[in-house]
Structure 1
Amino acid sequence: MSTLTKIPCEKTIDSSLYLLLEGYPFIQNRCRKYESDIFQTRLFGKKVVCFTGEEAAEIFYNDYLFKRKGAAPKRVQRTLLGQQGVQGLDGKMHQSRKKMFLSIMTPENLKTLIHYTRFQWEYNSIRWNNSNIILFDEAQILLCQVACKWAGVPLDHYEIEQRAFDLGKMIDGFGAVGPRYWEGCSARKRSEEWISNIIVQIRTGKIKPPKDSAAYIIAWHRNQNSKLLNPQVAAVELLNIVRPIVAIATYITFGALAMFKHPECRAKLQLRDPNYNEMFVQEVRRLYPFTPFVGALAKKDFLWEQYLFHKDTLVLLDIYGMNHDSRIWLHPYEFNPERFFDWEHSPYLFMPQGGGNELGHRCAGEMVTLEVMKASLDFIANHLSYKVPVQDLKYPLSRIPTLPKSRFIMSHVKRKVN
């Protein structure tokens, strides 16, 4: 019989304050401290096991050993995720809901999304002519327009900025305490009320979105009991289409930052090589912070690598740490798109938005993120001329989610005439 190995344990009563102070590198810092890929601590009064590495990721996405239901803290549900959405489901219910999302991500629908994204950059940039803009703010507004049009959600001109603001606050609030968190909660409530009303109007025939749109598919999706989703749950799932597209504004801002810091990369983007465009986008997703970690609950007692996991223990997988692990990436803190030239895709190594296979808990919108980023960063590199004035471009790792402090100011913005 094999001997159990004791999981290294934090000696503090609770490490929540350290998580708030350190942010993204919290797990990575302790793995280095204990010279271990696993450790145990307490966060917000709850026992937590944190781990990292390919083997950890593979076991973490084993649905026989881990479940998502009940894993997301209420504070994250009240801001970022909503309640009873696909991220917190398991088993057949999760499979059914995941298939619903995948049915939206058809090749034709993705082509339409790319078209809408390019059009919106062209259209919105008209009013930027020779002016100063804050890229992150403008990208949120633009992507809100793209997301709603693509999803079949009606959006009046007068409400664009408010809806974009609310979707952004939901994203910004999940890792915060105090005013940022409460703003995120309020934004979630307003957004769910807005979308719930749209779901009801679709079902009563007052709104008629295209049959291949997310709004139509989600409004008419039936659960395991052949019943339509509750309007509030349907609203959560439709926001799970719209909100993540707006969240891409963060990656677009970091992409512009990468072009500014590495002008040779912008020059390569201007050669219009689609392979390089994809490598650039993937490197932005790897290097710059987005998802800090993901969580699940142990379904039962089990043994892994001589470590004993107890049923219902909350386990966190370190996403940020794996994207900056020198055992996986050569010079992990350097920006180098070419590292993806011969990259062997693995669902358990490169996980900017979570891992696993497509039918499991891997983000269904990952392809959406890639395509929107490619179209957006191609537009910035090849169809805009601008200057980058002196500003504070630092992004604090203690802040989750983080962003350059200035949100990337661009001056003398003009569309290029090609």
Structure 2
Amino acid sequence: MATMPVDRSPDSTLALLRAGYRFIGERCERYGSDVFQTRILLAPTICLRGRSAAELFYDTERFDRATAMPLRVQRTLTGRGGVQGLDGAEHTDRKAMFMSIMTPTAIERLGQLFDREWQNRLAAWEGAGPVRLYDELGRLLTRVVFDWAGLPLPASQVERRAVDLHAMIEAPAVVGPRHWRGRLARNRAERWLGAIIERTRTGTAPAPPGSPLAVIAEHRDGRGNLLPRRIAAVELLNVLRPVVAVDQYIAFAALALHDHPAWRDRVRHDDQVTEAFVQEVRRYYPFFPTAAARVRRSFDWRGHHFPRGRRVLLDLYGTNHDRTLWPEPELFRPERFAGRRVDPFELVPQGGGNHWAGHRCAGEWITIDLMKRAVTNLTTTMRYDVPAQNLALDLHRMPALPRLGLTLSNIRRTA
């Protein structure tokens, strides 16, 4: 039986918050192992990285999710009772509900709304002085996804909803006021959406047929019951919030176009090149740092013992930068995806494994489509300057973004 390395600290919670995305990877390098033990929030935790680790982690016979995610994450990011924390038949049923929303027609409609809104905002950006792209994207995506979901927002509500969704996204990995803002934002949103769900069900405010609002409000579980009102609100947020979070990836794509300007011409009129560029953005830049599971029953893997009930963290960022999978992972090289089939356990920015049966993000295709559309808009429908600013990414901060959200200036429409 191999000895699993043990982190020296009696509890690594503060070290995790300080190290951010590099926490697991740095320790894997230190111990010369892709698996080690530590304590997070005083609980014994096994940390993993790499393709084989991802394949193990998404084995539903060995792991479950029901109690794996810390409460601070559930109370801010994912919601309590949402699909991310389900297992077995209940997860299969709930995931099928989400996948029924992700049809090619629905994704195309969302993309069309996105392109239209981009053009609307471009008219406002012209001559408006410096624009913080990340902030603008948050508002743009909020307006678009609410419309697509069957919840069109009055202009007066867009800013408030965008701020609340961002607060939820940023809250899990911080302490103090930012964390509490995220919890309050989730509570507000769940109450508001719960009331809308109720009005949809009673017919006082019918939802557009086939919209995410209609699908979730009308969904019945394996026993024929409607989802409880609060759970339905949680799952509706699990459609809205992740789409708004794509603003991070679009900001990263704009940053990559700035740092690697030769790619601007390559992506303009070649969809396959754009796809490779977008996939490299997803691999290279930091999104969500880890995923959590809990050992369903004791087993041994590669000589290491995984006791029943032990929490396990998979390093998503570290797996996307594993040099055994990605030669020179510290370099931005979209050509690595040219003609390459994306392995479901190698590229895991939004989880690994199977979309239908596992816990891989149901909206991954939406992410890719919106990123490709954004890259096309950034390179073909507009021109702009990037004024001097600090564009460094702080990997100690989650989520990691340029401090000024990538500021653009002198924006003008192409002829």
**TM-score bucket (shorter structure):** over 0.9
Task: Quote the offset at 1:410 in angstroms.
Answer: 0.5
State the match for 1:185 in structure 2: 183
Alignment of 1:25-104 (within 5 A): 25-104=22-101
CA deviation vs aligned residue, 1:97-126 (integer Å, no higher than 9, x gap): 000000001111111111111111011111
Q: Which moved more, 1:202-211 or 1:295-304?
A: 202-211
RMSD: 0.9
Q: 2:197 aligns with which of 166, 187, 199?
A: 199
Which amino acid in 1 is paired with 2:265?
A: A
State the match for 1:280 in structure 2: 277
State the match for 2:149 in structure 1: 151
State the match for 2:287 in structure 1: 290
Which amino acid in 1 is paired with 2:205?
A: I
CA deviation vs aligned residue, 1:369-404 (integer Å, no higher than 9, x gap): 001111112111111111111111111110011111
State the match for 1:228 in structure 2: 226
Secondary structure in 1 matching 2:139: helix
Task: Quote the offset at 1:262 in angstroms.
Answer: 0.7
Confirm or deny that 1:301 pairs with 2:305.
no
State the match for 2:412 in structure 1: 414
State whether residues 385 and 411 of structure 2, in contact with CA within 8 Å, keep that contact through their aligned partners in structure 1. Answer: yes
Confirm or deny that 1:358 pairs with 2:359.
no
CA deviation vs aligned residue, 1:167-194 (integer Å, no higher than 9, x gap): 1111011111111111111111111112
CA deviation vs aligned residue, 1:145-188 (integer Å, no higher than 9, x gap): 11111111131111011001111111011111111111111111
The whole-number CA distance in structure 1 between the counterparts of 2:32 and 2:388 is 40
State the match for 2:266 in structure 1: 268
The whole-number CA distance in structure 1 between the counterparts of 2:67 and 2:318 is 24
CA deviation vs aligned residue, 1:43-63 (integer Å, no higher than 9, x gap): 110100001111111111111
Task: Quote the offset at 1:342 in angstroms.
Answer: 2.6
TM-score, normalization by structure 2 = 0.98
CA deviation vs aligned residue, 1:234-269 (integer Å, no higher than 9, x gap): 010011011000000001111111011111011212
State the match for 1:124 in structure 2: 121
The whole-number CA distance in structure 2 between the counterparts of 1:103 and 1:181 is 33
State whether residues 66 and 85 of structure 2, in contact with CA within 8 Å, keep that contact through their aligned partners in structure 1. Answer: yes
Q: 2:164 aligns with which of 163, 166, 169?
A: 166
Alignment of 1:337-376 (within 5 A): 337-359=334-356, 360-376=358-374
Which amino acid in 1 is paired with 2:97?
A: M
The whole-number CA distance in structure 2 between the counterparts of 1:125 and 1:138 is 10
Secondary structure in 2 matching 1:410: strand
Confirm or deny that 1:253 pairs with 2:251.
yes
Alignment of 1:4-19 (within 5 A): 4-19=1-16
Confirm or deny that 1:380 pairs with 2:362.
no
Q: Which runs of 5+ in 2 are unaligned?
A: none
CA deviation vs aligned residue, 1:42-87 (integer Å, no higher than 9, x gap): 0110100001111111111111100010111000011110110000
Which amino acid in 1 is paired with 2:260?
A: H
TM-score, normalization by structure 1 = 0.97
Secondary structure in 2 matching 1:189: helix
CA deviation vs aligned residue, 1:259-288 (integer Å, no higher than 9, x gap): 111110112122x11001111111111100
Q: Which runs of 5+ in 1 are unaligned?
A: none
Among all aligned residue pairs of Structure 1 and Structure 2, give the percentage whose two residues are the same amino acid: 44
Alignment coverage as a number of residue pairs: 413
The whole-number CA distance in structure 1 between the counterparts of 2:365 and 2:108 is 11
